[in-house]
Chains A and B, each alone.
Chain A
Amino acid sequence: MLVTGTSLSLSGLTTVAQASENPVAIFDSLYTAFLVLGTLVGVVVIAYILYNAWTYRSDDSTQDGEYDIEETHDEESVARPQLGEVPTGVGKAGGKKLFVSFAISAIAVLGLITFAYWNLLLVEGTPDDADDMEIDVVANQFNYTYDYPGGENEAEVLYVPTDRVITLNVTSCHSPGTLDRGEYTSDQIDSMECPNVSEGEVENVGNVWHSWSSPDLRASGDAIPGQYTETWFVADEPGTYRVVCRELCGSGHTSMNVENGVVALEDSEFEDWCLENDCMAEEELTNWLDRTEGES
């Protein structure tokens, strides 16, 4: 059992190395490793508890009172509780075992932390050399809109080309004219404004906290009023992917569950869509698509 466990998690490790460019694979390998290890630990510990509870069950038949066995304090080696004693432990007994098991779990925990940290570095920020496309995701009650580098267009579905690194800057929309913070470009600030609200109409009211997530692409980011959260993904296959909201955002929270929230297209189809919708300047787009062809 132990052997299969290790080999499985080892195969998990190799997958990471190969597919460090895709959060789906990174997640899968880490999840698999945790699942195998966690199940192993859980099963062993639970079995051991049950084993002990069963093995040392008392079969004393002499009933003292009506409800429990007769108390005996004959074996010197076992510290049995006595009524009225100053409650101390058992002295040294069992201490060594306790330390050994503690040491083992400490090593396991340290290992897990290291492994988890290494994986964290892989998903944190887009890969260094990635030539990505950045898209802003603006959450609202109760939908998401997507702003492409070309600006202006507020698509309700996220169209992306396959096999490219797509970086999302997720935020929740805010009321026009209220956000004026040095860290953002005026483009970004514009795109964060709540649609259908014009300046001065509602004072200081942005939107609430949402959490954009595409489970299949393993990309998530909290959509928080007044700030951006970054996440990224690569869609391997053309097709549609679900988008859900993962932070309770009001009565319509459930409806923020869009089956075709992300549509991944072949290059040529994406090009058509993009040009039609001003998602990027034509020249820039073709350059980018060419440049990144077959990169990931």
Chain B
Amino acid sequence: MSGLPPKSSVKRWLVTTNHKDIGILYLLTSLFFLIGAGVLALLIRVQWLPGGSVLTGAEYNQVVTAHGLLMVFWFLSPFAFAFANYFVPLQIGAEDLAFPRLNAMSYWLYLFSGLAMVTSFFQGGTHQGGWTLYAPLNVPAFVPRVAEIGETTAVIGLALFVTSVTLGSVNFLTTIYRMRADGLRMRDVPLFSLSILLTVWMMLFAFAALLAASILLGSDHLLGTQYFLSESGGSLLWTHLFWFFGHPEVYIVFFPALGALAEIVQTFSGRRLVGRKWFIIAMALVTIQSFIVWMHHMFLTAINLPIKTVFMVTTIGISLPFDLMVFALIYTMIKGKVRWTTPFLFALGALLFFIIGGITGVFLGAIVLDYQFRGTYWVVAHFHYVMASGAVALIGALYYWYPKMTGKMYNQFLGKAHFVLAFIGFNMLYFPMFIVWETPRRYSDYSSQVVWEVPFTDFAIVDAGFTVFHQIATVGAFLFAASFLIMFYNLVKSLYSDRTVEESPWAYTGSAEWATDSPPPLENFPGKPTFANGRLNFLTGTEATDGGVEVMEADRSEPATDGGVASQVEELPDHSHDADHASWWPLLLSAGLLVTALGLSGLEQSYVLWPFVLSVPVFVAAVGVVGARRYVASNPEVSGSTTTHKLLVLGSVPLLAGLLAAFHAQHGIVDGFTEANRYFFVALGGLVYTVYAFVAMGYESFEVPEPELNEAWPFEGVTNTKLGMWLFLGSDIILFGALVGSYVFIRFQSGWQDWWHDAGLPEAAHQVLPGLINTYLLLASSFTVVLALAYARRGHKRGTMTFLGLTFLGALGFLANKAYEWNEFINHEGWTQTSDVMGSTFFLSTGIHAAHVIIGMVIVVFLFSRASEGAYWGEDEDAHTIEYFGLYWHFVDIVWLFLFPMFYIL
């Protein structure tokens, strides 16, 4: 499918894979969540009015939790990524992101994960433990019965969101590294895009830790493992995992805002950023340092003095690079031509908020102060100043880029009015919280007396003073909220105004997005952008004179420059015709995942794995059927499907029968299905559908030209897909690192040595041999993949298929051996993942690895079918697919080399 319907058609927005459309979708969706989370915020503040107790304790906790989660995950980050989607390709001179369909999937998964979160409210209640989800309050033992399903949905929603983020990170990294316009060196990338680059680096690793945490938590909910209930450090484990993610996360939400700030200050000061190089170095430093400050959230947990001190130093120290950035922004204004437009006002406001937030953060970094500030409104005020600083800067970005995205200018007066009201409202809302900081955080009612002593005086405010400050805050909250009504009115109304905008409404803009129409055309630029001769030029493949005109447009300030275009016309590759921009599958696949997620949330423990197991034969059959159909459709000369297709379809039947037999063994086939609850069928249906959509998407022909004539340092040597695969595996390393780390942590806390003896597993049963056999099997299967690739490169079809088949058999042997071992443990020794925390770590860690093996086998089935269609032989580039699979497979192998000693030998 390639044609993209017009913007007025609803279908366009469902099928689009274009980065600008997706940017708009992100923008609208994140604003929708802003409204939702904002209403919850108002509820919190109403609770604090005199006699305002509208919510019970449990309800209040849910509101606080959902407000935090929605704002941080479903508003702030995606709001930033609306601009990232829209403007990163424009700023670096690319036509789209590297993987457009994946980008669409990121969006749909984001939307659906948010909907899952919202749904959880209506399943008896959502999570009640705050956005930090501290353990063990987050496990079923402490969750009210009625809310059990809702809590699980919230956790799964979080995991879906992480998936979306991971896909997005891989996509943006690949794009920024490999698709810059010719001549645009890494260091020349505009600041907003650079800030996104650093953000996605942090995301790639930080969110992998959150994925691990949510997998463990989800498993505690659904499979009955005992990670976070464990008294051997279970609750500390959660805080480590969460904050290892959580601290980078606070920069993840702030960095895009920082990039936007730099752009806005630069434009509206009419001056290039002072110390640009140092600004970038400082950002890069923070990116790295953000991973070594997390324990400042745990100062009161009895970690020892040296470690605490180190974290105090890294924490307070991280304010230094920020100081430098703030000073750079300030000095940029000097000798500038500062225009107090709406975007500039918001940037200015954000800068002031950030300074206040940063200074109060340094207070928190001083451990002795943190001992008292922890869990109080000081923390609440601090992080709202920094986070809202981010939000305010991004609102500035919206006002900055709105004319570019819509081609219309908004009403400047209303924009400024929005700012004034927001600025006053915000300060009224949060500044008083610093004054009455002694208020404990997350209390639903605090009417009793607190004394606030005015520093350096004998003056103290008792009781009434306390409530007065909170009441001011409540009024501020409503002002702040109201200011957004002005914004919505202004922006919507302006769409229909006649204040049109050409390329750039602002003076002193620099980056490439301002050199094209507003809004930009589908292919972004009037020609292929290049910086090869030191300035932005557009090369066109057709008439040299057309190009010349465009170049003059771009170079408004120096209209004389228009040479050098004609000479380059010939070499220009023109891909704009064969690129695809539309696909249904990202939407359909993500929808399938949402249904699956909702189904999973209500499954009983003994049913959890079955939907997955039973959808395997569906996958096999789908590959056969869809593969055959596509094969025949795209090769008119062949008479019918290949033998492999037929075998797959036929083979799926006995496979299904075998798996049903296994189901029968556990539940009884009739009883099993009749006694299963509704959720089981939802999950099963959802997964079957997801599997089908996955196959269909895999077979869809979707043309994304590899970029040519562009800057790809430092990854010139690899293709986009290979780089994407590397990056994905990078995040997977963190996932397994976190899993193994969790095991090591808990085992260490309970005294390492006697671990397996304490487990409900007789020592004799804990044997090394099965693990050893599996190590050999996996190593052998890695070897066969290498051979399959070698044969594919030589164009040897039989050899390719043979070795792919052998790889599959190796994996199958691995699983069979594991099944035998598990059967011993579970059915003969009675040792399961629920028996003890040892069992939890053993079954979950090796189980997730086994899931990776199964995914590998699934891919092999797919490759096998494609190979039978003749996809990989010959000089064709397509043999790469086998190479990428090989990367994945070796990785799975290496992971086992770590798991094996950890779980079998030590």
User: Residue of B at shortest CB range from A245?
Assistant: B440
A 72-104 to B, binary, CB cutoff 8 A, 1 in contact else 0: 010001111111111111100111011001100
CB neighbours of A86 from chain B (8 A):
183-184, 188, 531, 534-535
Our pick among A85, A250, A257 for the contact of B446 (Cβ within 8 Å) is A257
CB pair B557 A71 closer than 8 Å = yes
A 33-61 to B, binary, CB cutoff 8 A, 1 in contact else 0: 01100100110011011001100111010
CB pair B275 A87 closer than 8 Å = no
Please judge, given known A-B contacts A87-B190, A120-B309, A181-B750, whether A49 and B337 are in contact too, CB under 8 Å: no
Shortest B835–chain A CB gap in Å is 10
CB neighbours of A162 from chain B (8 A):
none
CB pair A208 B137 closer than 8 Å = yes
CB neighbours of A73 from chain B (8 A):
557
B 497-512 to A, binary, CB cutoff 8 A, 1 in contact else 0: 0010111111111111
CB pair A78 B557 closer than 8 Å = no
Shortest A119–chain B CB gap in Å is 5
CB neighbours of A79 from chain B (8 A):
271-272
Chain B interface category by residue count: 35 or more
B135 part of interface (Cβ distance < 8 Å):
yes
Q: How far is the CA of A12 from the CA of B840 in the complex (A)?
A: 52
CB pair B324 A65 closer than 8 Å = no
CB neighbours of A65 from chain B (8 A):
502, 505
In the complex, the number of residue pairs spanning A and B with C-beta atoms less than 8 Å apart equals: 346
Our pick among A26, A46, A84, A94 for the contact of B275 (Cβ within 8 Å) is A94
CB pair A251 B56 closer than 8 Å = yes
Which residue, of B328, B340, B356, B534, has the highest number of chain A Cβ atoms within 10 A? B328
B29 part of interface (Cβ distance < 8 Å):
no
CB neighbours of B514 from chain A (8 A):
83
Within 8 A of B (CB), among A190-247: 202, 204-206, 208-209, 211, 213, 215, 218, 220-222, 224-231, 244-247
CB neighbours of B332 from chain A (8 A):
94
Within 8 A of B (CB), among A97-129: 97-98, 101-102, 105-106, 109, 112-113, 116-117, 119-120, 122-124
Please judge, given known A-B contacts A70-B507, A244-B440, whether A109 and B316 are in contact too, CB under 8 Å: yes
Chain A interface category by residue count: 35 or more
Which residue, of A32, A77, A208, A248, has the highest number of chain B Cβ atoms within 10 A? A248
A27 part of interface (Cβ distance < 8 Å):
yes
CB neighbours of A84 from chain B (8 A):
510, 512, 515, 535-536, 554-555
CB pair B136 A208 closer than 8 Å = yes
B517 part of interface (Cβ distance < 8 Å):
no
Q: How far is the CA of A123 from the CA of B515 in the complex (A)?
A: 60
Q: How far is the CA of A194 from the CA of B22 in the complex (A)?
A: 53
Q: How far is the CA of A116 from the CA of B366 in the complex (A)?
A: 6
Q: How far is the CA of A32 from the CA of B272 in the complex (A)?
A: 39
Within 8 A of A (CB), among B655-700: none
Which residue, of A46, A83, A213, has the highest number of chain B Cβ atoms within 10 A? A83
CB neighbours of A70 from chain B (8 A):
507
User: Residue of A at shortest CB range from B500?
Assistant: A66
User: Residue of A at shortest CB range from B348?
Assistant: A53
Q: How far is the CA of A251 from the CA of B736 in the complex (A)?
A: 35
Our pick among A98, A179, A254, A257 for the contact of B327 (Cβ within 8 Å) is A98
CB pair A56 B141 closer than 8 Å = no
Q: How far is the CA of A1 from the CA of B560 in the complex (A)?
A: 56
Please judge, given known A-B contacts A46-B352, A70-B507, A86-B183, whether A222 and B300 are in contact too, CB under 8 Å: yes
CB pair A112 B362 closer than 8 Å = yes
Please judge, given known A-B contacts A83-B556, A222-B301, whether A48 and B330 are in contact too, CB under 8 Å: yes
CB pair B442 A253 closer than 8 Å = yes
CB pair B363 A38 closer than 8 Å = yes
CB pair A102 B535 closer than 8 Å = no
CB pair A81 B333 closer than 8 Å = no
B372 part of interface (Cβ distance < 8 Å):
yes
B341 part of interface (Cβ distance < 8 Å):
yes
CB neighbours of B536 from chain A (8 A):
83-85
B850 part of interface (Cβ distance < 8 Å):
no
User: Residue of B at shortest CB range from A82?
Assistant: B557
Shortest A213–chain B CB gap in Å is 7
Which residue, of A70, A94, A113, A230, has the highest number of chain B Cβ atoms within 10 A? A94
Within 8 A of B (CB), among A1-43: 8, 26-27, 30-32, 34-35, 38, 41-42
Our pick among A58, A81, A226, A230 for the contact of B231 (Cβ within 8 Å) is A226
CB neighbours of A102 from chain B (8 A):
320, 323-324, 327
B821 part of interface (Cβ distance < 8 Å):
no
Shortest A35–chain B CB gap in Å is 6
CB pair B751 A38 closer than 8 Å = no
Within 8 A of A (CB), among B164-216: 183-184, 188-191
CB pair B351 A246 closer than 8 Å = no
User: Residue of B at shortest CB range from A220?
Assistant: B371
CB neighbours of A284 from chain B (8 A):
none
CB pair B455 A35 closer than 8 Å = yes
A283 part of interface (Cβ distance < 8 Å):
no
CB pair A120 B274 closer than 8 Å = no
CB neighbours of B555 from chain A (8 A):
83-84
CB pair A85 B501 closer than 8 Å = no
Please judge, given known A-B contacts A81-B510, A249-B137, whether A27 and B372 are in contact too, CB under 8 Å: yes
Shortest B734–chain A CB gap in Å is 25
User: Residue of B at shortest CB range from A40?
Assistant: B359
B234 part of interface (Cβ distance < 8 Å):
yes
CB pair B137 A251 closer than 8 Å = no
Please judge, given known A-B contacts A98-B278, A224-B235, A259-B448, whether A106 and B320 are in contact too, CB under 8 Å: yes
Our pick among B184, B277, B312, B339 for the contact of A113 (Cβ within 8 Å) is B312
Question: Which candidate, B262-270, B774-782, B889-897, is the interface stretch facing chain A?
Answer: B262-270
CB neighbours of A69 from chain B (8 A):
337, 339, 507
A 170-183 to B, binary, CB cutoff 8 A, 1 in contact else 0: 00001000110110
Within 8 A of A (CB), among B132-151: 134-137, 141-142, 144
Our pick among A67, A88, A89, A244 for the contact of B506 (Cβ within 8 Å) is A67
CB neighbours of A226 from chain B (8 A):
230-235, 749
CB pair B751 A56 closer than 8 Å = no
Shortest A63–chain B CB gap in Å is 10
Q: How far is the CA of A213 from the CA of B443 in the complex (A)?
A: 14
A276 part of interface (Cβ distance < 8 Å):
no
CB neighbours of A178 from chain B (8 A):
231
Which residue, of B135, B334, B351, has the highest number of chain A Cβ atoms within 10 A? B334
CB neighbours of A26 from chain B (8 A):
368
The 10 closest A-B pairs by CB, nearest first: A246-B375, A89-B276, A226-B231, A84-B536, A94-B274, A81-B510, A58-B337, A116-B366, A251-B58, A251-B57
Interface residues of A (CB under 8 A from B): 8, 26-27, 30-32, 34-35, 38, 41-42, 45-46, 48-49, 52-53, 56-58, 60, 64-71, 73, 77-90, 93-95, 97-98, 101-102, 105-106, 109, 112-113, 116-117, 119-120, 122-124, 174, 178-179, 181-182, 202, 204-206, 208-209, 211, 213, 215, 218, 220-222, 224-231, 244-255, 257, 259
Q: List 30 contacting pairs A-B, 8 Å CB cutoff, sorted by A.
A: A27-B369, A30-B366, A49-B355, A52-B338, A67-B403, A67-B501, A71-B508, A73-B557, A79-B271, A80-B272, A83-B555, A84-B535, A85-B536, A88-B188, A89-B277, A89-B279, A94-B331, A95-B274, A98-B327, A102-B320, A105-B319, A116-B365, A208-B134, A211-B375, A213-B372, A218-B372, A221-B302, A244-B440, A248-B61, A251-B56
Given A67-B409, A97-B331, A209-B136, 12 additional A-B pairs, CB 8 A: A38-B363, A53-B338, A56-B269, A70-B507, A73-B557, A82-B508, A83-B504, A87-B276, A213-B375, A215-B372, A221-B300, A251-B56
Interface residues of B (CB under 8 A from A): 56-58, 60-61, 64, 128-130, 134-137, 141-142, 144, 183-184, 188-191, 226, 229-236, 266-267, 269-279, 300-302, 305, 308-309, 312-313, 316-317, 319-320, 323-324, 326-328, 330-341, 348, 351-352, 355-356, 359-360, 362-363, 365-369, 371-372, 374-376, 403, 409, 412, 438, 440-446, 448, 455-456, 499, 501-512, 514-515, 531, 534-536, 554-557, 749-751
